[in-house]
Amino acid sequence: EVVLTQSPGTLSLSPGERATLSCRASQSVSSTYLAWYQQTPGQAPRLLIYGASSRATGIPDRFSGSGSGTDFTLTISRLEPEDFAVYYCQQYGSSPLFTFGPGTKVDIK
Amino acid sequence: QLQLQESGPGLVKPSETLSLTCTVSGGSISSNNYYWGWIRQPPGKGLEWIGSIYYSGSTYYIPSLKSRVTISVDTSKNQFSLKLSSVTAADTAVYYCARQSILYWCFDYWGQGALVTVSS
């Protein structure tokens, strides 16, 4: 089973700052099958990044993804007020087929 | 614009069966390029994939729930459904339906979610 670990658990930053979120897998994950989601309170998750580095439709270019193997990163270059949310990484691989990380909360400092 | 909408009872008694339906609009559930999945989120917790189905009826389930889960599809109604039997309080969660890209195996469109509470 592939276990995803996200760090930090909470990231306290100010608008305009850069956010760097980490997702580590317990075993190698194909970059093709690593995605990132954003979830604001009371809302469904929204796909941000797929294939480790491709932005989903309508996602601003301040969001970027990178990484390979067991280490992946989501970067938000300049935080906007609407970016304060919880972010999840997700992989497809061995059983269970689809797993999510525990999430990183980005809150306002 | 593709839209997904969950529907079903918001309250289920312990030991009974949870049933939810996802209605897809703005697109066909019979597309070759997508699976259709269910994900749940207990209050204040993270996301857990439950299972997915192709329009042909092919399914995948998370092993920990496999003995209790059935996902089915009705292409004539553009709907797919979730049944979870023998529920307990641990099954209380917001249940989301979502579309899955086969190319990247990510969930690209989500329903708004349905809170299901298991309580007597």
The answer to whether B2 contacts chain A (CB < 8 Å) is: no
Q: Over the stretch A9-28, which tens digit does the pLDDT of each residue have?
A: 999 999 999 999 999 999 99
The answer to whether A50 contacts chain B (CB < 8 Å) is: yes
Residue of A nearest to B102 (CA): A33
**Average pLDDT rounded to a whole number, residues B5-29:** 98
Contact A90 B113 (CB under 8 A): no
In chain B the beta strands, taken as DSSP E runs, fall at 3-7, 11-12, 18-25, 34-41, 48-53, 59-61, 69-74, 79-84, 93-101, 107-110, 114-118
> At residue A95, does pLDDT exceed 80?
no
pLDDT value at residue B60: 94
Q: Is B77 helix (H, G, I), strand (E, B) or coil?
A: coil
Q: Over the stretch B63-100, which tens digit does the pLDDT of each residue have?
A: 999 999 999 999 999 999 999 999 999 999 999 999 99
CA distance B14 to chain A (A): 25
CA B117 to chain CA centroid, nearest Å: 15
Contact B113 A99 (CB under 8 A): no
Query: Which residues, at least 6 apart from B67, have a Cβ–Cβ distance to it below 8 Å?
Result: none
Report how far residue B40's alpha carbon sits from residue B53's, in angstroms, rounded to the nearest whole number.
16
The answer to whether A59 contacts chain B (CB < 8 Å) is: no
